[in-house]
Amino acid sequence: MAEIRNYTLNFGPQHPAAHGVLRLVLELDGETIVRADPHIGLLHRATEKLAESKPFNQSIGYMDRLDYVSMMCNEHAYVMAIEKLLGIEAPLRAQYIRVMFDEITRILNHLLWLGAHGLDIGAMTMFLYCFREREALMDCYEAVSGARLHATYYRPGGVYRDLPDRMPQYQASRWRSEKDVKKLNAERQGSMLDYLWNFTEYFPKRVDEYETLLTDNRIWKQRTVGIGVVSPERAQALGFTGPMLRGSGIVWDLRKHQPYEVYDKLDFDIPIGKNGDCYDRYLVRVEEMRQSNRIIRQCIEWLRKHPGPVMAENHKVTPPSRERMKHDMEALIHHFKLFTEGYCVPAGEVYSAVEHPKGEFGIYLVSDGANKPYRVKIRAPGFPHLAATDEIGKGHMLADIVALIGTMDVVFGEIDR
């Protein structure tokens, strides 16, 4: 009798569920995965080398483009690394703004993850629900930076500018009547903090809606419960961080265990799983959205009571005010030199990490005293998760690989950095 051999199948890089340009070479025995070999490098951006060829302050925008779902969190690690080398600290108000936007970004990330993961597994409604809330928060990005995605809002020494007193207003057009515009602008009449507070009031109910659709859904549980189980010991050994680690029951969160900015002044919990499967990682991320909402509310309350500067006074690093530039030629020249030539950073090396929505996002920065980094190394949270695909996927069915890729929440901009 002829021997039945395993066969090899390409999953991606054009597959919608590959979440980017992942080429996964699967060795299959029937529909059972025997081996999964992830091939990366199809989106190589050379971000680390590009950052080494530019002044420190010109590479912040590259960080946004690494994980284009968690933009400001990427900026945060890079900016903090520069600040450590310079020996400066952002004003307290700027720190609260940064933390608030980190948590807005966490919600944005998890909403896109939940919508896309739901779509991969067959729950189309989730995608539409999640984008409804994402739009409300993307407007906050646009209000502070002028861009919906690549904000470049965090700067060494603080943030680009303070929060706006009024949200941008919708305008009537031939596609949108005055009545529709009035309804859309109803919650935009106050400041951005008022707008965000209103969002935090209704968002927990929206998360309840997501859970109503999925948490006890029979099909969702069949596709996620017991799939991709990772023990606590293996999760640690494989270098997992973020929800991939906490889903296995390990209580590790940089915001609590290595606090930065003002996280040590805020009250929030770290959700963890019990079984280390796709379902537990889903529950962890859903609860993280609730905790982020809680943190945002605390930041809003503090920011309302404490006005103040959002940029350090050290003008070797921070630009002069626009008001001053209108009357002072020296300030204007300084402004141009700062943004074209940058500033020299003392020689040394530093590692700065943040609790990114996907895990630990770190920047290893080496300066030789010039105005450009000597070396930039990015620790992307998705890289070790993807590296474990073979171990996690072995023995599962072909359909389960979609759930496994989804539960990792990979974005290839940071993996192919």
Both tokens of 36, joined, read 């999964």
Angle in degrees, CA 413, 107, 354, rounded to 5: 60
Percent of the chain at pLDDT > 90 equals 74
pLDDT at 84 over 80: yes
Alpha carbons 241 and 230: distance in angstroms, whole number = 13
Contact 45, 413 (CB under 8 A): yes
Alpha carbons 410 and 407: distance in angstroms, whole number = 8
Query: What amino acid occupies position 127?
Result: F
Three-state secondary structure along 115-127? Answer: HHHHHHHCCHHHH
Contact 372, 344 (CB under 8 A): no
How many Å is the Cα radius of gyration of the chain? 23
pLDDT at 1 over 50: no
Alpha carbons 292 and 137: distance in angstroms, whole number = 13
Q: In this structure, how many other beta carbons lie within 10 angstroms of the beta carbon of residue 158?
A: 26
State in Å, rounded, how far the first CA of the chain is from the last one.
49
pLDDT at 200 over 70: yes
Angle in degrees, CA 363, 303, 201, rounded to 5: 95
Is 0.85 topped by the overall pTM?
yes
pLDDT at 123 over 90: no
Alpha carbons 273 and 287: distance in angstroms, whole number = 11
18-32, 78-92, 332-346, 368-382: range with lowest mean pLDDT: 332-346
pLDDT at 39 over 70: yes
Both tokens of 362, joined, read 């770190």
Q: pLDDT tens, 390-415? A: 999 999 999 999 999 999 999 988 99
Segment holding 32, helix H or strand E: strand 32-39
Q: pLDDT-based confidence at 328, cuts 50/70/90?
A: confident
Which of 204, 132, 223, 210 has its CA nearest to residue 406? 223
Domains along the sequence of the chain with CATH: 55-343 (1.10.645.10)
Which of 398, 389, 358, 409 has its CA nearest to residue 116? 409
pLDDT at 212 over 90: yes
**Rounded mean pLDDT, 214-242:** 94
Give me the torsion for CA of 148, 152, 154, 159, rounded to 10°. -80
Alpha carbons 236 and 409: distance in angstroms, whole number = 18
Q: Which residues contact 148 (CB under 8 A, 6 or more apart)?
A: 138, 141, 142
Asked if residue 13 has a cis previous peptide bond (ω within 30° of 0), the answer is: yes
Both tokens of 309, joined, read 């500067």
Please tell me the predicted confidence (pLDDT) of residue 361: 96
DSSP code at position 17: G
Contact 24, 8 (CB under 8 A): no
- Which residues are registered as beta bridge partners of 159? 154
Q: pLDDT-based confidence at 261, cuts 50/70/90?
A: very high
Q: pLDDT tens, 164-199? A: 999 988 888 888 888 888 888 888 999 999 999 999
Please tell me the predicted confidence (pLDDT) of residue 14: 82
DSSP code at position 378: E
Segment holding 159, helix H or strand E: strand 158-159
Query: What amino acid occupies position 361?
Result: F
Which of 109, 108, 130 has its CA nearest to residue 119? 130
Q: pLDDT-based confidence at 3, cuts 50/70/90?
A: low
pLDDT at 20 over 90: no
Please tell me the predicted confidence (pLDDT) of residue 4: 60
Q: pLDDT tens, 145-170? A: 999 889 999 999 999 999 999 998 88
Q: pLDDT-based confidence at 314, cuts 50/70/90?
A: confident
- Which residues are registered as beta bridge partners of 350? 365
